[in-house]
């Protein structure tokens, strides 16, 4: 695999973990009755305990929770706006809109997608700063193994 493609693949995996890891941290604390934060609605039996696998400290867990809390509302709002913009684009394409109107709406959709991707990337960098180098390697290994397991199920 070319180095650039490998880097993009690793970055993609890391970005997906950046979104998942803080939620799993919340779940782990909820299971251990360490935090009353009940935002996550995923049954505990469906998730592995990344906090134990990565041996996260209390300080790391708290930082990850804060990171998730700060990013959650912003990302949710942007995704809702993006969904509406995509629907509007589809309506324009199916309707009698001019090519310029369709192009403008497409640019808006792309801009929103870029904003979401940038936010996820920044969250990934923040998570990277919280984790130790050893935890980053372990997280990469866990991500790769889970990706392979998902592909086997297909």
Residues 17-52: tens digit of each pLDDT: 544 554 444 444 444 433 333 332 222 322 336 788
Residues 121 and 35: their CA atoms lie apart, in Å, by 27
Residues 26 and 97: their CA atoms lie apart, in Å, by 46
In the chain, % helix, strand, coil (3-state, to 5) comes to 80, 0, 20
State the greatest distance between any 2 C-alpha atoms of the chain, in Å, as a whole number: 57
Task: Estimate the crossing angle of helix 99-130 against helix 58-94, to 10 degrees.
Answer: 170
pLDDT of residue 86: 97
Q: Mind listing the pLDDT tens digit for each residue in 55-73? A: 888 898 889 888 888 888 7
In the structure, what pLDDT confidence band is assigned to residue 102 with cuts at 50, 70 and 90? very high
The listed range with the strongest mean pLDDT (4-8, 13-17, 31-35, 102-106) is 102-106
- Rounded mean pLDDT, 106-118: 96
Give the pTM. Answer: 0.61
Q: Which residues of 8-47 are buried (b: 16+ CB within 10 A; e: fewer)?
A: eeeeebbbebbeebbbbbbbbbbeeeeeeeeebeeeeeee
pLDDT of residue 17: 52
pLDDT of residue 85: 97
Residues 147 and 35: their CA atoms lie apart, in Å, by 30
Number of C-beta neighbours around residue 68 at 10 A:
23
Q: Where are the domains of the chain?
A: 3-153
Please give the structure tokens belonging to residue 131. 């984790």
Looking at the predicted structure, is the pLDDT value of residue 90 above 70? yes
pLDDT of residue 52: 83
Q: Does residue 42 or residue 102 have the better pLDDT?
A: 102
Mean of pLDDT over the chain: 75
């Amino acid at each position: 695999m070319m180095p650039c493609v490998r880097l993009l693949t690793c970055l993609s995996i890391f970005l997906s973990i950046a979104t998942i890891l803080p939620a799993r941290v919340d779940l782990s604390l909820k299971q251990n009755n360490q935090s009353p934060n009940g935002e996550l609605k995923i049954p505990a039996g469906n998730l592995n305990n990344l906090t134990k696998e990565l041996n996260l400290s209390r300080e790391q867990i708290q930082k990850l929770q804060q990171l998730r809390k700060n990013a959650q509302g912003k990302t949710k709002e942007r995704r809702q706006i993006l969904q509406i913009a995509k629907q509007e684009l589809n309506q324009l394409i199916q309707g009698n809109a001019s090519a310029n109107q369709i192009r403008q709406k497409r640019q808006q959709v792309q801009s929103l997608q870029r904003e979401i991707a940038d936010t996820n990337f920044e969250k990934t960098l923040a998570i990277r700063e919280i984790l130790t180098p050893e935890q980053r390697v372990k997280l990469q290994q866990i991500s790769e193994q889970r990706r392979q397991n998902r592909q086997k199920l297909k």
